[in-house]
Amino acid sequence: MKQILEVAQKALDQTGQWLVKQNIEAFQVAAYDFAWRAAELYAANALCDFAQHQGELERELANFFIGEVIAGKKDETAARKTAHLIREKGDGGSFGLDEQHQMFRETFRKFAEEKVMSRAEKIHRQDLLIPQEIVDGARELGCFGLSLPQRYGGFQDDNRPDHTGIVVVTEELSRGSLGIAGSLITRPEILSKALLKGGTEEQKQKWLPFLATGEKMCAVAVTEPDYGSDVASIKVNATRKNGGWVINGVKTWCTFAGYADSLMVLARTDPDLSKRHKGLSLFIAEKPRFEGHEFKYKQPDQGGTVEGKAIATIGYRGMHSYEVAFENYFVPAENLIGGEAGLGQGFYLQMEGFAGARLQTAGRALGVMQAAFEAALKYSNERKVFGKPIFDYGMTQWKIARMAALIQATRQATYAACRLMDEGKGLMEASLVKFYASKISEWVTREAMQIHGGYGYAEEYPVSRYFVDARVFSIFEGAEEVLALKVIAPALLKRYL
């Protein structure tokens, strides 16, 4: 296996040595393919390292992945063997977790199966809000404090970060439902990381314990109608007034903005647009909680308003994503993250939060893929066509084997990126696994749906929900094209300078 990976790495290096001499903007397709191939190799190496110390199924999955994805060879004999091992075990291989993380997994899997799954379809079909019972249950299990140090009320050792735990929990919640559980802890982590990176000690002491317990729920307001991935060009502004700041402008795709008590708002505090990201600052704008698809709040003392309307989406329902308009909305000076020292630092602080969120997105994609794979495996063994289970057909076995291999490779690559983040590294790798997991989740969920045939297209089976939910991953938390061309390729190409 290692020899195949070495050959593939040499080919990637040759492309990199050529591409580093070019203008990426003039060769976007080549740069995108370079980033994608790097992501596949990263996943392959992580899976290969993992499989060396595991059982027969895990080793066969690694062989299948490297042969199929890296070498480009379709081996039906290997697919049949791998698929039958999957059928015998009844799953797609071990996770390779230590005792603590396995306990996290089992705890939140039980919660998802008992509290989330039974509600997921109704909320998806009727576009309802997450039930309070699920929010309370997640709070009682302590999931909101998983990314926070103990000194601020969280569960992480003050001196030993742990990114794997939150990814494991995110995966299990997303397996239950992306929309009503899998994304609950993403936004608190984004705000928490920004506060930990650049907040004043007073801000940390005030906000982090609230976020750790889930007492305060938050949303993120960064994207604007005309500026999504091009964050440095945003125009929502904040100006000084009466010992604080007033915010004006419109944000969009603010998930959970109605229910949230506070919004993490990235705003332009320097009107000089030429300063781009250096003119942005980060604020915590507080508001009351609202349910439903619309809200409006007028500040009683200052007279400013904030209002939002949910955007209709094909999937990822339960938290609602809003367009939010601010009109002279007052934020006290103490809610400028970092205080005066935080002026012009907003872009960097929010990017700190989004690095962890990208790992979570890989975890969310893993959860949706795992649910789709399990549904496909079960259905393929139960459904008979022409007198035998559809699992017994070679095409189905190839699909089942490929699903399991892709999921296992993604999982181990994500865990590897988590370990790097624990060491204060891995920002590029977090983007790499988000990029990879998001894109392959579409294939896995599509094929799970295809295995179900006509029933896969019916809302009667949740596999149709997995398919539309998976489509969002390549769009949010960094669109795949932007990650490939602006983050991953430039970072990798530095190695060839």
DSSP per position, 129-166: PPPHHHHHHHHHTTGGGTTSBGGGT-SBBTTB--HHHH
The region of weakest confidence among 312-321, 345-354, 380-389, 399-408 is: 345-354
Distance CA 390, CA 397 (A): 9
Say yes or no to pLDDT of 60 above 90. Answer: yes
Q: Are 376 and 448 in contact (CB under 8 A)?
A: yes
> What secondary structure letter does DSSP report for 352?
H
pLDDT digits (tens, 9 = 90+) for 155-213: 888 888 899 999 999 999 999 999 999 999 888 889 999 999 999 999 999 999 999 99
Q: Which residues contact 273 (CB under 8 A, 6 or more apart)?
A: 233, 235, 279
Q: Are 283 and 238 in contact (CB under 8 A)?
A: yes
Q: Is 298 left (phi over 0), alpha (psi -120 to 50) or beta?
A: beta
Say yes or no to pLDDT of 221 above 80. Answer: yes
Q: Are 307 and 238 in contact (CB under 8 A)?
A: no
The region of weakest confidence among 43-52, 268-277, 304-313 is: 268-277
Distance CA 161, CA 422 (A): 5
Mean pLDDT of the chain: 93
Decide which of 230 and 298 is more confident: 298
Q: For residue 228, what pLDDT is reported?
A: 60
Say yes or no to pLDDT of 232 above 70. Answer: no
Say yes or no to pLDDT of 230 above 70. Answer: no
Half-sphere exposure of 367 (CA within 13 A, CB side): 33
End-to-end CA distance of the chain: 29
Question: What percent of the chain is modeled with pLDDT above 70?
Answer: 98
What angle do helix axes 2-19 and 28-51 make, rounded to 10 degrees? 160
Strand partners, 248: 237
- Which residue carries 């079909």 as its tokens? 125
Q: For residue 12, what pLDDT is reported?
A: 95
Say yes or no to pLDDT of 403 above 90. Answer: yes
Q: Are 297 and 306 in contact (CB under 8 A)?
A: yes
User: Within 10 A of 354 (CB to CB), how many other CB atoms are there?
Assistant: 25
**Two tokens, residue 298:** 């007028």
Say yes or no to pLDDT of 459 above 90. Answer: no
Q: Mean pLDDT across the stretch 443-454?
A: 97
CA 385 vs CA 382, 445, 451: distances in Å: 10, 21, 11
Q: Are 39 and 430 in contact (CB under 8 A)?
A: no
pLDDT digits (tens, 9 = 90+) for 281-295: 999 999 999 999 999
Q: Mean pLDDT across the stretch 346-362?
A: 87
Q: What are phi and psi of 312, to 5 degrees?
A: -70, 130
Distance CA 377, CA 434 (A): 25
Active site residue 477: yes
Q: For residue 270, what pLDDT is reported?
A: 86
pLDDT digits (tens, 9 = 90+) for 69-103: 998 888 899 999 999 999 999 999 999 999 999 99
**Two tokens, residue 266:** 């990235």
CA 152 vs CA 54, 296, 349: distances in Å: 38, 32, 19
Q: Mean pLDDT across the stretch 46-63?
A: 94
Q: What are phi and psi of 457, to 5 degrees?
A: -90, -10
- Quick one: pLDDT band at residue 3, thresholds 50, 70, 90? confident
Q: For residue 340, what pLDDT is reported?
A: 92
> Which entry of 40, 171, 477, 480 is annotated as an active-site residue?
477
Q: For residue 229, what pLDDT is reported?
A: 62
Q: Are 65 and 408 in contact (CB under 8 A)?
A: yes
Q: Are 421 and 355 in contact (CB under 8 A)?
A: yes
Q: Are 155 and 107 in contact (CB under 8 A)?
A: no
Say yes or no to pLDDT of 423 above 80. Answer: yes
